[in-house]
């Protein structure tokens, strides 16, 4: 399958003080933070964890997430529970975007190569590909994410079902290696897992399986799909083939023959 050339990126690893501006935007803004700042868990001491906001959290059974920020942290988050989303369980919610604000930022930037459109409307990202051969368009995260022990989940409202049109959820590491879970139709519709354009496994496409997930655990990367986010069907599992310490998250579409439209409902990035 032809692949688009890698776009130049200006991304920041989602760890430590460098994320303050992005995190403030994602959390709705908060005062400058001082105490319990961190770049990694070692800075937080026993039972501490460095959160994406760049400050420490500690176990707190009173919180749905099971953790709260340190009491000494300045600003509105001092002593507050860390973000919780059922998609992440007790893990860290690094990003949860329901595409309902009409713009890709601050978490993403939109891109395309030709006569394509990428817009947010009605709580969805709508990607419409032009009629030329080799069209592509999508979203690319402005930050990178540490997915060691984490996951990315994409809710897909509508795949592009034209022949040789493909809908992707991709993770790209610092060396530009890409692991993807994607839907495509050649003669029949299928879900596939690939790395750097090499197909690893394929299963039949089930239209109700609108939740797509790539997750890491114990050194294994798993590509999987679900209809209800409870029972997951495995597409492929293998030793992690890319560097997951700092990946760009990318939902996008590609058409070999041109044409096609897809709609994406929500994306959630979970850390350990």
Q: What is the pLDDT of residues 110-149, one digit of tens each?
A: 999 998 999 999 999 999 999 999 999 999 999 999 999 9
Give residue 255's pLDDT.
96
Instruction: Write out the residue range of the structural domain in which residue 18 sits.
Output: 12-84
**173 and 73 inside one domain:** no
* pLDDT, mean of residues 185-207: 96
| β-pairing verdict for 12-13 and 143-144 | parallel
Using the 3D structure, point to which of 84, 110, 136 is the last residue of a domain.
84
Q: What is the pLDDT of residues 141-172, one digit of tens each?
A: 999 999 999 999 999 999 998 999 999 999 99
**144 and 262 inside one domain:** yes
Beta-bridged to residue 125, according to DSSP, are 120, 264
- Structure confidence at residue 272 as a pLDDT band (50, 70, 90): confident
- Structure confidence at residue 25 as a pLDDT band (50, 70, 90): very low
Give residue 20's pLDDT.
34
CATH code of 136's domain: 2.60.120.200
Give residue 123's pLDDT.
95
CA distance 213 to 193: 11
pLDDT above 90 for 36: no
**256 and 158 inside one domain:** yes
Q: Residue 19 is encoded by which pair of tokens?
A: 């994320």
Q: Residue 77 is encoded by which pair of tokens?
A: 């988050």
Number of structural domains, the chain? 2
Give residue 35's pLDDT.
60
Q: Is residue 90 part of a domain?
A: no
CA distance 35 to 171: 33
Give backbone dihedrals phi and psi of 18, rounded to 5 degrees, phi first: -65, -15
Using the 3D structure, point to which of 62, 84, 106 is the last residue of a domain.
84
Q: For the chain, what is the mean pLDDT? A: 85
**106 and 230 inside one domain:** yes
pLDDT above 60 for 49: yes
């Amino acid at each position: 399958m032809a692949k688009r050339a890698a776009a130049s990126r200006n991304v920041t690893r989602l760890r430590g003080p460098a994320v303050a501006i992005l995190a403030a935007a994602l959390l709705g803004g908060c005062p400058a933070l001082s105490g319990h700042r961190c770049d990694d868990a070692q800075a937080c001491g026993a039972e501490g964890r460095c959160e994406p906001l760049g400050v420490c959290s500690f176990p707190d059974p009173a919180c749905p997430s099971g953790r709260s920020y340190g009491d000494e942290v300045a600003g509105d988050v001092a002593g507050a529970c860390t973000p919780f989303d059922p998609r992440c369980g007790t893990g860290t919610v690094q990003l949860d975007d329901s595409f309902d604000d009409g713009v890709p930022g601050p978490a993403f930037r939109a891109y395309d190569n030709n006569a394509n459109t990428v817009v947010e409307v009605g709580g969805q990202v709508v990607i419409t590909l032009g009629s030329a051969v080799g069209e592509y368009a999508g979203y690319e995260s402005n930050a990178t994410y540490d997915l060691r022990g984490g996951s990315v989940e994409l809710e897909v409202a509508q795949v592009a079902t034209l022949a040789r049109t493909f809908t992707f959820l991709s993770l790209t590491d610092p060396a530009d290696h890409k692991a993807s879970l994607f839907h495509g139709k050649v003669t029949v519709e299928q879900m596939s897992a690939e790395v750097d354009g090499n197909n690893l496994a394929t299963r039949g496409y089930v239209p109700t399986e609108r939740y797509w997930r790539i997750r890491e655990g114990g050194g294994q990367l798993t590509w999987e799909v679900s209809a209800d986010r409870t029972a997951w069907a495995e597409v492929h599992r293998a030793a992690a083939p890319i560097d997951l310490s700092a990946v760009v998250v990318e939902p996008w579409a590609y058409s070999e023959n041109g044409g096609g439209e897809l709609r994406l409902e929500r994306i959630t990035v979970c850390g350990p």
